Amino acid sequence: MSDQNQHTMQDPTSQYPKATAEWKQKQQEPGLQKEMNPIPDAGETSYRGTGRLAGRKAVVTGADSGIGRAAAIAFAREGADVLLSYLPEEEADAQEVVKLIEEAGQKAITIPGDLRDEQFCEQLIATAVEKLGGIDILANVAGKQQFVEDIADLTTEQFDATFKTNVYSLFWLCKAAVKHMKPGSSIINTSSIQAYKPSPILLDYATTKSAINTFTKALAQQVASKGIRVNAVAPGPVWTPLQVIGGQPTEKLAEFGANTPMGRPGQPAEMAPAYVFLASQESSYISGETLNANGGTPTP
């Protein structure tokens, strides 16, 4: 572990580097974090837990890399057992996370598979209930983002895959999980700055993110009386595999995050505390909220 952790006071504008020309790189979807340069910081050596989620049973989708990986590591260090969802091609990244969770003294269950499939989503929640003994936290972090410049080139196949991954899976996982959740449980969805400031080249993706905000607000009201809270985290530009597999044009990666008030991209480690806060009892009176973690860009 490093001397620095998420509590160390420092200047946030220089806490992490700005992008440079060396950040231009390309991988095939879904990509591997371990093959990125620089490798994103998901809190592997820095996140320090203080028992905020002791005894919780958590499901994290997209847990192999990026923001989901940072949330999974933080949840484990805060005392939760974690079921990790990811795609089979991402096994190498996922195994690194398994190791970190076990080093934190928690249980890690893996279930690779495609969230675009309703039956798989149901099976994932059933596995959590069986192997973790229940489900207290559902962090929906998996997502698909592929830029297309012209609507004429945006295929129905891609539009459908983006909605299946980002929106339908959320519906299927929440539907299956709510049945098992006790009062005090928490669902955390992953929105984006794209919900408010859509890039023209992310027509399908940005539209799914505003759907996620609305889904979050509606479901939060529906399950409030059951003692279940539903919130969202809305990241700004964060250095993860998503960006190097066609989420952005490769050329644009050299200035990734430069247009935020802080002038730099975020790192996955900086998203984790938002997920921990919304998962824990500290946020007991907060539901239907979107927590923006975007380097200072104003949001509605």
Query: 3-state secondary structure string, the chain?
Result: CCCCCCCCCCCCCCCCCCCCHHHCCCCCCCCCHHHCCCCCCCCCCCCCCCCCCCCCEEEEECCCCHHHHHHHHHHHHCCCEEEEEECHHHHHHHHHHHHHHHHCCCCEEEEECCCCCHHHHHHHHHHHHHHHCCCCEEEECCCCCCCCCCHHHCCHHHHHHHHHHHHHHHHHHHHHHHCCCCCCCEEEEECCHHHCCCCHHHHHHHHHHHHHHHHHHHHHHHHHHHCCEEEEEEECCECCHHHHHHHCCHHHHHHCCCCCCCCCCECHHHCHHHHHHHHCHHHCCCCCCEEEECCCCCCC
Among residues 16, 86, 196, 205, which one is catalytic?
Answer: 205
Q: Which does residue 67 touch among Mg ion, ligand NAD, none (CB within 5 to 8 A, set by kind)?
A: ligand NAD
- The answer to whether residue 65 forms part of the interface with Mg ion (CB under 5 A) is yes
- The answer to whether residue 204 forms part of the interface with Mg ion (CB under 5 A) is no
Please count the residues of this chain forming the interface with Mg ion, following the rule CB under 5 A: 4
Q: Is 209 exposed, middle or buried (0-12, 13-18, 19+ CB in 10 A)?
A: buried
Q: Which does residue 235 touch among Mg ion, ligand NAD, none (CB within 5 to 8 A, set by kind)?
A: ligand NAD
Choice from 64, 81, 96, 136 touching Mg ion (CB under 5 A):
64
Nearer to Mg ion, 63 or 195 (CB): 63
Q: Which does residue 116 touch among Mg ion, ligand NAD, none (CB within 5 to 8 A, set by kind)?
A: ligand NAD
Nearer to ligand NAD, 220 or 244 (CB): 244
**What is the smallest separation between the CB atom of 227 and ligand NAD, expressed in angstroms?**
26
Q: Which residues lie below 8 Å from residue 290, measured CB to CB, with a gap of 6+? A: 191, 213, 216, 231, 232, 233, 234, 299
Give Cα separations from 108 to 126, 207, 234, 236, 275 (angstroms): 15, 33, 26, 28, 18
- The answer to whether residue 78 forms part of the interface with Mg ion (CB under 5 A) is no
Residue 82 contacts residue 107 (beta carbons within 8 Å): yes
- The answer to whether residue 90 forms part of the interface with Mg ion (CB under 5 A) is yes
Q: Which does residue 231 touch among Mg ion, ligand NAD, none (CB within 5 to 8 A, set by kind)?
A: none
**What is the smallest separation between the CB atom of 10 and ligand NAD, expressed in angstroms?**
22
Q: Which residues sit at the interface with ligand NAD, rule CB under 6 A?
A: 30, 62, 64-68, 86-87, 90, 114-116, 141-145, 165, 190, 192, 235, 237-238, 240-243, 268
Subset of 230-249 contacting Mg ion (CB under 5 A): 241
Q: Which does residue 213 touch among Mg ion, ligand NAD, none (CB within 5 to 8 A, set by kind)?
A: none
285 in catalytic set = no
Nearer to ligand NAD, 49 or 257 (CB): 257
Nearer to ligand NAD, 43 or 235 (CB): 235
Q: Show the tokens assigned to 223.
A: 């399950």
**What is the smallest separation between the CB atom of 26 and ligand NAD, expressed in angstroms?**
14
Nearer to ligand NAD, 99 or 226 (CB): 99
Q: Which does residue 165 touch among Mg ion, ligand NAD, none (CB within 5 to 8 A, set by kind)?
A: ligand NAD
Candidates 64-72, 148-156, 230-238, 262-270: pick the segment binding Mg ion (CB under 5 A): 64-72
Q: Which residues bind Mg ion (CB under 5 A)?
A: 64-65, 90, 241
Residues with catalytic annotation? Answer: 205
